[in-house]
Amino acid sequence: MTEHRLALLTTFACFLLLLAGGLVHATGSGMACGPDWPLCKGEAFPRMEGGVLFEHGHRLIAATVTTLTVVLAGVLLRRRRTWIGVGAVALVIVQALLGALTVRWNLPMAIKTVHLAVSMAFFCFLILISFRSNPDYVRGEHGRLIGFAAIAVYLQILLGAFVRHTSSGLACANSIPFCQGRLWPDWGPAQLHMTHRYFAMIVATLVLTAAWRARKTQPVAAFAAVVLVVAQITLGLLSVTSFLGTWIVTAHLGTGALLLADMVALYLLPAQAPQAVPA
């Protein structure tokens, strides 16, 4: 397996890990294995049912991602791409330690949020490795606007994590678009919730503007950005109206990760138009 294919496989496994982590929270399974880590109630392979299925399944996928990352780093070191190999291993180790602290310290809000922040940063780093390891890759940048849009998407994901981990997802009940008829509520959790909604409008504007500017040079990635923005807004609305349905909020997290991946890819792709192929 080439390093590029290995990088793509590791990136895909990391995306599955993000979804699994979202399911752990959405199903309230964070402490299904008790304070034990990395074992689950003293067992390496417990009975996979109920909350244990989500919690320990998440750990098994994490172990797979860690193994793939170490192997990928070894291949990169052999190809003298030292810094990205070491960086990937460092991030996955930090991520594993944060996962352990999350369980050992009984799901503290700050640690859970940092855990998600590092996981999304690691996901972006794997995308970078996937591009750099492609022998046909031509390095290029689309400019500051797309970079700002990518950062804004990342910050919006973190803001969503604060909403989720402070149990503010239903602070406005299921009222849309305002918070029980008010533009700005008085209650703290409701204010956090509405901040997430309003910032989503800013992020959507940035992404759509960036996609419009890149539509001629990278039409596929630009079109994907538009589709993902529409899907993400729709899932955000459904998350509220469904009273945080498990699969809806997990899809909301997954689509946010895909949007982030698309913006990072759009930033890394060459900014010039594709060359015409001679007849």
273 vs 199 pLDDT, higher one: 199
Domain range enclosing 236 = 141-279
Cβ atoms 176, 125 nearer than 8 A? no
Confidence of residue 278 (pLDDT cuts 50, 70, 90): very low
Of 86, 118, 137, which residue sits at a domain end?
137
Query: Within 13 Å, how many C-alpha atoms sit on residue 147's CB side?
Result: 7
pLDDT over 80 (residue 1): no
122 and 153 inside one domain: no
Average pLDDT over residues 176-187: 91
> What 3-state DSSP class applies to 89?
helix
Q: Is the pLDDT at 277 greater than 80, yes or no?
A: no
Of 128, 139, 188, 184, whose CA–CA distance to 162 is shortest? 188
pLDDT for residue 35: 85
Q: Tell me the pLDDT band of 279, cut-offs 50, 70 and 90.
A: very low
pLDDT in tens, 230-275: 999 999 999 999 999 999 999 999 999 999 999 999 999 877 655 5
pLDDT band at 43 (very low <50, low <70, confident <90, very high): confident
Residues 210 and 174 in one domain: yes
Q: Are residues 86 and 157 in the same domain?
A: no
Looking at the fold, whether 188 and 117 belong to one and the same domain comes out as no
Question: Are 121 and 192 in a shared domain?
Answer: no
pLDDT for position 39: 87
Residue 104's Cβ-side half-sphere holds a number of Cα atoms within 13 Å equal to 10
Give the dihedral of Cα atoms 143, 146, 147, 148; nearest 10 deg.
120
Residue ending a domain, choose from 106, 137, 168? 137
Residue 276 to residues 22, 99, 279, Cα–Cα distance (Å): 43, 48, 9
Q: Which of 78, 107, 137 is the last residue of a domain?
A: 137
Question: What is the model's pTM?
Answer: 0.92
Do 279 and 169 lie in one domain? The reply is yes
Domains contained in the chain, number: 2
pLDDT attached to residue 211: 95
pLDDT at 135: 86
Q: Check whether 141 has a pLDDT greater than 80.
A: no
With pLDDT > 90 as the criterion, what percentage of the chain qualifies?
Answer: 72
Domain co-membership, 22 together with 54? yes
